[in-house]
Every structure is written in structure tokens, then in C-alpha cells.
């Protein structure tokens, strides 16, 4: 597929990397010549220096022959204008990143009037993910399928857990809960487990379940499942605003600390139910004074990764029982600080990339079984996908035990008529089902991709 990407910042480069890995023909546009030079040296892409909202620049980048244009600059208005020009010049599909809360309530109108294929708000998506974690703090990551009816939860098996040393086949017998362990990460190794796989303390495992079954599972293994009642947030940007609004709608008390007094005044007007503190969020005395040692959750949302990490480490020392969520923009930090078990790491740019890749794969497969959802888990080594199965799919009406699937592929769940069930060997996929697939392979765009090639 031929794709133009306008804007080569953190989000843009993440998208470029993923799309290049999947074999797409990419052209990139940015006003900064150094950025274009760095990107073209790092990836096999064509680079154009200029304004993405300029017809001549888009024409130089090949807009007339493109299938898709993705605009992810820091300016919502530039993104919208770029998409409008691209639609008129090349009649291609268009995706715009729109971050301003003022536009959020108007996204439907904007999308329809400008003919956008997709709009993405990374900050809103990140806030939604954080909110899910605070309402179910035992998990370090929660992704949702089937419009929220099914969850994929990741958590670390603690020392002394009844899961330590148990095989999955014994797990089903000992802990009667409707969950499926679909991925196990041990150190750098990740596997799609089978019944003989044995779990150990320190493993990060991913489970598929409906929300009530997941809560039942955690209770049976002795892990608390109640959500937090309050949170302290350091950093008052867009994510903090969306997160606070979400949490307060669920009755969770919110305190935000930011050193920009103008922003604090804005947040006080926007979030009258929250406590807004003007001050340096890296000041340990201030944090202690505001109750970091007693809060039930602590979220770091400053624009500096290292600052967020050190704040989370301090919170962990002062309040080991608190749920900690740390925002970072660089994936490399995760591997460095993983040993500290800081809790949940949030990467807004990765969330954006997941949305876009899901759309791109659906475009590639417009006549097959639609991909509805795509997530990267286990440090991006595993993909979890949801497909809606159409009538010509070769997987239907055949017992799963007889399907010749590729290695590293697990059919984790089937949703039929709004109800999820965990499939067995004799289960069959029917037309109209939603099927959740977990795999260590990459690039699937259709349910038939799980099958071995003849």
C-alpha cells in the first residue's frame, strides 16, 4: 500500500517504523529538513521537506497515486487541512490526529464534513487506558475487545502465589474460572502456552476473559480486585484532563499537581470537582504534604520520561501499596526500568500506531474478514487481534482441532451474539462470529492468515 505520513515526530516515527516493517511504500513530509534526513537515513522511505498542507508539497510526495494519507503533526488544524488537500488532490483515504479537547465533542461533524476515514486522539485513548487500570489496579495492562465486553489483562505473578509452579492444565482443574492464559513472558522470552506450560513467580501473563470472570479469577488467586478511590496526578496536560474527567465520572477523587499556574487556572475551570495544586511535582516535600504516602494511586504525566520514572520510583518507596502508572514516550526505557516493577507503563504513541495499523490492515483486506481490533502485548512481541468472520472464510464450520493453524497462533476466544466463550478442540467458528487471535507472528490482516499455506 502507498502511504504518505505528514509529521515525523515521536508519533509519526513510530507509525513509520511499524508500516515499513509491514512492507508498505512510504513517503514522509515534515517542515524540518534535519528530521526528514534522520528518518530517510533510518528507514527505507521517500522524504519531502515542506508543509503537508501545501498542494505542491503533497504532489511532490506523490499524493495523486497514494492510497492513504496520515497527518500526525503537532497542529490539529494543519492535520485537518492536510487531509482536506489530500482528499481533493488524490481522493485517498485520510487519517488525522486531533488532540484539542475543544474539538472532541465535534469529531463526528469534522469527520463527516472533511471526509476523514479516521480521527485519532492519543491523549484521550491513553487516558481511557489509564482509567481502566485504576478501576482494576491488579492488572498492569488492560485491552478491550468486542466493544468492551471482553478484556485482555496482563499481570505479574507475585512471589508466593498459588500460580507459582502450576501447569495450565492443572490451573483449569484447580481454579475453576472462565479465563484463558494466552501469553507468558519470562525475562526476554515470550511464548503462546499450551496445557503443559508451567507458570512461575515473576512471569508476566496475559489472560482473556469477560470482566466478571476476570474478577472471579483474581479473587480465587488471592489478588485484590477493587478499584481505587482516589488518585494523584503529576502533570496537567491533555491526558490529565481527559483522565480526571473520566475518573470523576466514576466517583474517584482526583488531585492534579502542575507547575504552570496558567494551566492550573484552566484546569480549575474545566474540572471544578478536582483539586488542582500549583507547584513543582518533582518536589518531594510537596508530594509528601499532598499525601503521596496515603493515596491509592499515583500517575506521572509530565513531558519528560526520566522525570516520570523517578517520580514513580519515589512513590513506590513512600507508598508500596499504591497503583502506579508511568507515561513514557521511549520504549527503550521499559527494558531499563522493568526490573523495578513500577507497575503500568503507558505509551500514547504506541496506542496511536495500533489504531492506524488496524485501519491499514483492514484497508488491505476490504473483501475479507474485517480486523476490528489490534493490540501489541508482551513488549510488542505478541499481537492480539479481533476479526469479524465473513461467509467465505475457510475457518468456518470446522472443529478447531482440525484447523491447520500456523505455529505461534492461538484462537483465544469466540464472541457470538454478544456472548463470549473460550473455545475447545470441538468448537467451530460460524459466520458473523468475532474471533480473538493471539500470535507471536506479525502482519495478519484476515482470519485466513492464521492457517498454514497449502
Radius of gyration of the chain (CA): 23
Q: 3-state class of 425 per DSSP?
A: coil
Measured in whole angstroms, the distance separating CA 74 from the mean position of its chain's CA atoms is 20
Q: Given this model, what pLDDT does residue 391 score?
A: 82
- What pLDDT, in 10s, does the model give residues 64-88? 999 999 999 999 999 999 999 998 8
What pLDDT digit, counting tens, does each position of 22-63 carry? 899 999 999 999 999 999 999 999 999 999 999 999 999 999
Q: Read off the pLDDT band of 370 (50, 70, 90).
A: confident
Q: What are the structural domains, with CATH classification, of the chain?
A: 2-120 (3.40.50.720), 126-220 (3.30.70.1450), 230-346 (3.40.50.720), 363-450 (3.30.70.1450)
E strands present in 289-370: 297-300, 323-327, 344-346
Q: For the chain, what is the mean pLDDT?
A: 92
State residue 38's pLDDT score: 96
pLDDT of residue 432: 93
Count of CB atoms situated within 10 Å of the CB of 275: 15
Does 366 have pLDDT greater than 80? no
Cα-based angle 416, 421, 423 (whole degrees, multiple of 5): 105
Q: Of 283, 290, 343, which Cα lies nearest the Cα of 313?
A: 343
- With 60 as the cut, is the pLDDT of residue 367 above it? no
DSSP H/E element including 361:
helix 348-364
Q: What is the pLDDT of residues 433-443, one digit of tens each?
A: 999 999 999 88
Which pLDDT does position 340 carry in this prediction?
65
Q: With pLDDT > 90 as the criterion, what percentage of the chain qualifies? A: 75
Stretch 264-286: mean pLDDT: 96
Contacts of 250 by beta carbon, 8 Å cutoff, 6+ apart? 131, 135, 227
Answer whether residue 308 shows pLDDT above 80: yes
In which band, very low, low, confident or very high, does the pLDDT at 338 lie, cut at 50, 70 and 90?
Answer: low
Length of the chain: 454
pLDDT of 320 above 60: yes
Q: Are strands 434-439 and 297-300 parallel, antiparallel or unpaired?
A: unpaired
Q: Is the pLDDT of residue 322 over 90?
A: yes
Contact 40, 97 (CB under 8 A): no
Confidence of residue 339 (pLDDT cuts 50, 70, 90): low
Question: Given strand 150-156, what is the order of strands in its sheet?
Answer: 141-145, 150-156, 204-210, 180-186, 189-191
Cα→Cα distances 306→12, 149, 298, 302, 337, Å: 22, 36, 16, 9, 10
Q: Taking each helix axis from N to C terminus, what angle separates 122-135 and 238-249, rounded to the nearest 10 degrees?
A: 40
Amino acid at each position: 500500500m502507498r502511504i504518505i505520513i505528514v509529521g515525523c515526530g515521536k508519533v509519526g516515527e513510530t507509525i513509520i517504523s511499524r508500516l515499513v516493517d509491514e512492507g508498505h511504500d512510504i513517503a514522509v513530509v515534515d517542515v524540518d529538513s534535519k528530521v526528514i534526513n534522520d528518518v530517510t537515513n533510518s528507514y527505507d522511505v521517500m522524504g519531502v521537506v515542506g508543509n503537508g498542507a501545501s498542494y505542491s508539497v503533497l504532489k511532490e510526495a506523490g499524493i495523486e497515486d497514494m492510497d492513504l494519507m496520515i497527518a500526525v503533526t503537532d497542529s490539529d488544524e494543519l492535520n485537518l487541512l492536510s487531509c482536506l488537500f489530500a482528499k481533493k488532490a488524490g481522493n485517498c483515504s485520510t487519517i488525522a490526529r486531533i488532540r484539542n479537547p475543544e474539538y472532541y465533542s465535534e469529531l463526528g461533524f469534522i469527520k463527516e464534513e472533511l471526509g476523514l476515514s479516521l480521527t485519532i486522539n492519543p491523549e484521550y485513548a491513553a487516558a481511557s487506558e489509564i482509567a481502566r487500570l485504576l478501576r482494576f489496579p491488579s492488572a498492569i495492562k488492560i485491552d478491550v475487545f468486542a466493544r468492551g465486553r471482553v478484556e485482555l489483562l496482563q499481570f505479574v505473578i507475585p512471589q508466593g502465589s498459588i500460580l507459582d509452579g502450576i501447569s495450565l492444565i492443572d490451573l483449569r482443574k484447580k481454579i475453576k474460572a472462565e479465563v484463558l492464559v494466552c501469553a507468558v513472558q519470562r525475562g526476554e522470552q515470550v511464548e503462546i502456552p499450551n496445557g503443559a506450560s508451567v507458570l512461575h513467580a515473576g512471569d508476566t501473563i496475559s489472560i482473556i476473559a469477560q470482566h466478571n470472570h476476570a474478577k472471579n479469577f483474581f479473587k480465587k488467586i488471592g489478588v485484590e480486585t477493587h478499584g481505587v478511590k482516589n488518585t494523584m496526578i503529576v502533570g496537567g496536560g491533555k491526558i490529565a484532563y481527559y483522565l480526571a474527567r473520566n475518573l470523576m465520572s466514576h466517583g474517584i477523587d482526583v488531585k492534579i499537581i502542575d507547575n504552570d499556574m496558567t494551566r492550573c487556572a484552566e484546569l480549575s475551570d474545566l474540572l471544578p470537582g478536582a483539586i488542582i495544586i500549583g507547584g513543582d511535582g518533582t518536589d518531594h516535600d510537596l508530594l509528601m504534604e499532598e499525601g503521596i504516602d496515603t493515596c491509592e494511586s499515583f500517575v506521572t504525566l509530565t513531558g519528560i520520561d526520566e522525570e516520570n520514572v523517578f517520580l514513580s520510583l519515589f512513590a513506590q518507596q513512600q507508598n508500596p501499596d499504591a497503583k502506579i502508572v508511568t507515561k513514557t514516550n521511549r520504549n527503550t526505557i521499559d527494558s531499563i526500568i522493568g526490573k523495578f516493577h513500577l507497575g503500568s507503563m503507558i505509551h500514547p504513541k504506541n496506542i496511536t500506531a495500533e489504531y492506524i495499523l488496524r485501519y491499514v490492515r483492514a484497508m488491505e483486506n476490504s473483501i475479507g474478514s474485517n480486523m476490528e481490533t489490534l493490540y501489541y502485548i508482551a513488549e510488542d512481541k505478541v499481537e492480539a487481534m479481533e476479526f469479524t468472520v465473513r461467509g467465505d472464510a475457510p475457518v468456518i464450520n470446522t472443529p478447531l482441532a482440525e484447523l491447520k493453524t500456523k505455529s505461534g497462533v492461538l484462537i483465544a476466544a469466540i464472541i457470538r451474539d454478544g456472548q463470549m466463550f473460550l473455545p475447545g478442540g470441538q468448537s467451530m467458528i460460524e459466520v458473523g462470529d468475532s474471533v480473538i487471535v493471539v500470535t507471536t507472528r506479525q502482519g495478519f490482516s484476515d482470519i485466513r492468515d492464521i492457517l498454514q499455506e497449502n
